[in-house]
Amino acid sequence: MNGRRRPVRAAGVRLAALLGLVLACVVLPGSASAAPTAGEVSVSGLQADNTTDPLGIDDPRPALSWRLTSPVNGEQQSSYRILVADSVSALTAENGNVWDSGEVASGNSVAVAYGGPALVSQRTYYWAVRVRDVHGAASAWSAPAHWETGLLSAADWHGAQWISPSSSTVTAPLLRTGFTLAKPVAKARAYAFGLGFYELRLNGAKVGDRVLTPASTPYDKRDLYATYDVTGDLRQGANAAGLWLGNGYDANFSPYGFRWTGPKQALLYIDVTYTDGSHQAITTDGTWKWATGPITGDSIYHGESYDARLERTGWDGPGYDDSGWQQVRQVAAPSGALQADTMPPITVAQTLGAVKLTQPQPGVYVYDFGQNIAGWEVLRTQGPAGATVTMRTAEELLGNGTIDTTTNRNARSTDAFTLAGTGSTEVYEPRFTYHGFRYLQVTGDPQTPTLSSVQARVVHASVPSTGTFTSSDALLNRIWQNNRWTILNNSMSTPTDNPVRDERTPPGMDVQAYHDASTVEFGMDTYYINYLRDMPPGTALPSDGGNALQPDMGGDQITLAWTLYQQYGDRATLAATYPLMKKFVDDGAAAVPGHIWTTGFGDWWPPDLSGNANGGMGSPGAGNCTSEVPIVNTALSYVQAQDVAKAATALGQSADATHFAQVADAIKQAFNQRFLNADGASYGDGSQTTAILPLAFGMVPAADVAAVGARLVDTILTTNGGHLNTGIFGTRYLMDALTEIGRTDVAMTVLDQTSYPGFGYEIGKGATTDWEEWTYASSMETHDHAMFGGINASLYTRLAGIQPAAPGYATVDVNPRIPEGLQHVAASVDTVRGTVASSWTVTGTRIALDVTVPVGATATVHVPHFGQGGATSVSPAGGATQQNTTGTDTTYAVGSGNWHFTGSLVPAATSSLPGTWTRCAAETGTCAVSGTQTVAFGAQGKYAYTTATGSVACTNTVFGDPDQGVSKVCYAQTAPPATGVWQSCAVETGNCSFSGTQTVAFGAQGKYAYTTATGSVACTNTVFGDPITNVSKSCSLTAPPPAATTWTPCAAETAGCVFTGTHEVAFGAAGRYAYGTFTGGTACTNAVFGDPAPDRPKTCFVQ
């Protein structure tokens, strides 16, 4: 089942069902052979503007997309043909009487712009696609799809008038009218908009499944009307229409969000098509009437009050006596343009039952739903008229078992229901508010509550799930799940900072930190497109404080537009946002001429590590609200300038691309000049984030990457005891930075912590969503903040290794990283082209990797292995091309389909040494030497060298990292120019020639630079650098450290490895080994070797 295919909303289900009856009897050209044969491509999953069979769109050139499937690997689309017609029967006759694209030679199946004549309002357009495969063979025609246009001009509203109650202060008024339909109804559409919220009702029932509608927008810029299929809601004869209005995002809403001012008002046009083809229009006008209703108070923040005694039974049905109601008044239209609402509407996603009921105090009942959500409660009760039940929501509990409303801040989050006293069960759920909560506290219930007395509605934008992830690490799986819940809870009509306290506004900083995770986890294309449309020119949305020009709070428009292009191939949105992107970077460069930002939020909410409790990690406390502002905002400005440069290239703006690349380079140079410390190993104050961002963003000078990476690892493991010390941006890029230096294992150490601070600490405290602050502080910081959810992106891109290498996953890079302690990862992303999946399992000394690539895409797959001799294989072999083998992986180029790869996990270096090299220490150990010797550090032909006296640490910090991701070894031998070991081969400026591969030393007087070369090397400062200035130097050579040898498994952990003679034995797993030289055999235990790979089953290998 395709997760990302966005279905038509429930309001249009009837049309889809009716159309399905027609299509069931239709066979399109070529469809008689629809069952695929070998090599045949099938077309399905048609979408217009990212939606299946959309209703009421106003895009003049809808973007058309489809998916391809094939039973064989390696298939591609070579051309396509699109037919658009005014009927299914025309498509059946292969007659594109609206538009026929003709045969287009292209492999693209994503966002092909409609190219026919101008679209007409309220018209259904049917379309189908046929493609040709790589051999030119035509597919069957797809099943027909359709899109329906909305109202494309003001005249199409047929004179509908804006109406409002005659009282400007009334709460939640009811508006109604009655009308008669003289003939049988063939089709009916309703086009509706209301301020603040509205609920459309026809003949006694709510229409559609939208809630909290319309979407929040800059109301003076654009107002989004919804289209409903109401064919089944109307009937010949008497009918009635009702509109129920709520406050919504009115003037009392947060000053940082979109707000509207003025009277509650509504606009409605219903177009009825009779079976004889004639039409009737029902519109809002001065004949409508209004009255007060049972909702006596409603607020997004504070909740809703409902008095069932004030219900007007039947008010929205025909025949209701409204003689006592007042006439509406006509009011001026809002200043914003009416546009079709194309974003995924807010709906009830699921209903939860309570998992626990307690009575902490007399008459006080507390329900636990087991999950922190955004939404509201449903109450079922019975009692006398006038009895009022009060319901309050919260995320946490106090020590006495009642709710803790601290994180609600000023939001009262209280609903009150006054019973009508009907003598039977009465049911209440709010309409025009929502809360963030896990716990519901009920007081005043006239009957004794039971566990089934309440339920919770989970409410958010109806975005489809597109990502799946699982691993052998239960805590990691829980972190992934919590992050997903948090993102959804904050996906309302705009992204919110939290669903709990009195903000719930678009947080540019948060979105920038997690949008690359949310676009993998969910189908966010149309959601974020609407978000970007509401950006004021050159700035940012009114967000939760801060200067919109700052890279942290305002730069999300740049990174988000680029992410949409990468994830969905959405070039149109990139082009539409591009002027804002340019202006933002140029304005920032003008505002900060030296490129060093000194204002902003920085790495918002790092933990407080100032105390001595908890193993030196500090006690959970308030922490620092801001951290490393200059480093964070300057680094973000670099990424944003880079993204604009890349966008310019994608859009063919070559001059802009050059300009913004130069801006990015200037920022990078200024950054390193200002923040890189003299030791070349740290930035700023040396905290984690100061290294994470430049490493993740590629800002560290190449010569300093190893040192900066080593210092970061030491800071994490030693200074911070394996814990994170990061806020919003440092956390997002923590795994990315560590993976870049080959230490994904350290990232897993951080994520697996269960003590403070970290995700595991929160989960241990019962968290089901992400906290705004790492501590369990009794303050306003909510426990449902999505800003830390961005790390989910790294689970897909680093652990599973799935990344788009071209927009819309036209090409895919699958490069999984295998950290210690993790035996299995499986992930999938339902992309615009189909499902991309990566699943790997480590068993003993083997890794199995399964990869799925959708038709129309290609992939580069990196099959991991460790050390030398890491053989790999692929199945099926046909269609996979081996490209390159390094010390860490072998890469294959593959086409679409399912692929199975294997790799061997063998130890790294060896010590059956030619020449005079002696193995002196494993990586992280100390190589002790007699006197002064040359020490080589590396493996498999890649070495770094130094001249050491007494001892030297075998670490990347000392040598740099000559072969990332591989376990390395130190070798020592007599330093040059000792005869019998080193052979003189050339004087300075000469050429040192030899057979095979040799180690060459260049220098004099005990100061040498080294390289490993094959055939010859020039003895110059240009090649080696100058190890001793103003002295004549020469080259000497000797046999290099050992090449690969064969390792044979000889025993599992705790068993005995037995052999004849003296051999070196490696003990470990997954690239982490300890070594020893033994005669006759050895026990394979931690007692003998130490534990090189904790929590992993290990194996002994004999050389």
Active site residues: 503, 772
Question: How does 758-768 read in b/e, with b if 16+ C-beta sit within 10 Å?
Answer: bbbbbbeeebb
Pairwise CA distance, residues 133 & 126, whole Å:
24
In one letter, which amino acid is 706?
A
Triad 709, 713, 714: Cα angle to 5°:
115
Which two tokens mark 467?
A: 């990502």
**Which helix (H) or strand (E) element contains residue 645?**
helix 629-650
Strand-strand pairing, 414-418 and 303-307? parallel
Q: Tell me the CA distances in angstroms from 486 to 436, 514, 696, 732, one per residue in order.
A: 11, 11, 24, 15
Under 8 Å CB-to-CB from 983, ≥6 apart: which residues?
Answer: 1036, 1037, 1038
d(CA 550, CA 908): 47
CB 459 within 8 A of CB 211: yes
CB-based contacts of 651: which residues, under 8 Å, 6+ apart? Answer: 571, 574, 575, 578
Distance CA 109, CA 508 (A): 32
Adjacent-strand bridge partners of 830? 835
Which residue type occupies 535? M
**Cα dihedral sign for 129, 135, 136, 141?**
negative
Name the pairing type of β-strands 396-397 and 403-404: antiparallel
Contact (CB, 8 A) for 601 and 552: yes
Q: Which amino acid, one-letter code, is at 866?
A: F
One-character DSSP codes across 863-874: EE-BSTT--EEE
Place of tokens 């001065």: 286
Question: Which residue carries 């200043």 as its tokens?
Answer: 335
Is-contact 884 891, C-beta < 8 A?
yes
d(CA 600, CA 554): 10
Sign of CA dihedral 89, 94, 97, 99: positive
Strand partners for 233: none
DSSP 715: I
Two tokens at 1050? 């000889």
Question: Between vectors from CA 212 to CA 207 and to CA 218, what angle results, nearest 5°?
Answer: 120
364 CB contacts (<8 Å, ≥6 apart)? 402, 441, 442, 443
For residue 524, the surrounding DSSP H or E stretch is: none
Residues whose CB is less than 8 angstroms from the CB of residue 727 and which lie 6 or more positions away in sequence, other chains included = 602, 603, 604, 605, 606, 627, 689
The amino acid occupying position 941 is G
- CA dihedral sign, ordered 405, 408, 409, 415: negative
The residue behind tokens 């967000």 is 543
Residues with Cβ within 8 Å of residue 1022, at least 6 apart in sequence = none
Instruction: Find the length of the chain.
Output: 1103
Q: Coil, helix or strand for 1023?
A: helix
Structure tokens of 817?
A: 């990283």
Cα–Cα distances in angstroms (integers) from residue 118 to residues 48, 148, 921, 940, in the given order: 16, 13, 75, 65
C-alpha 732, offset from chain centre: 11
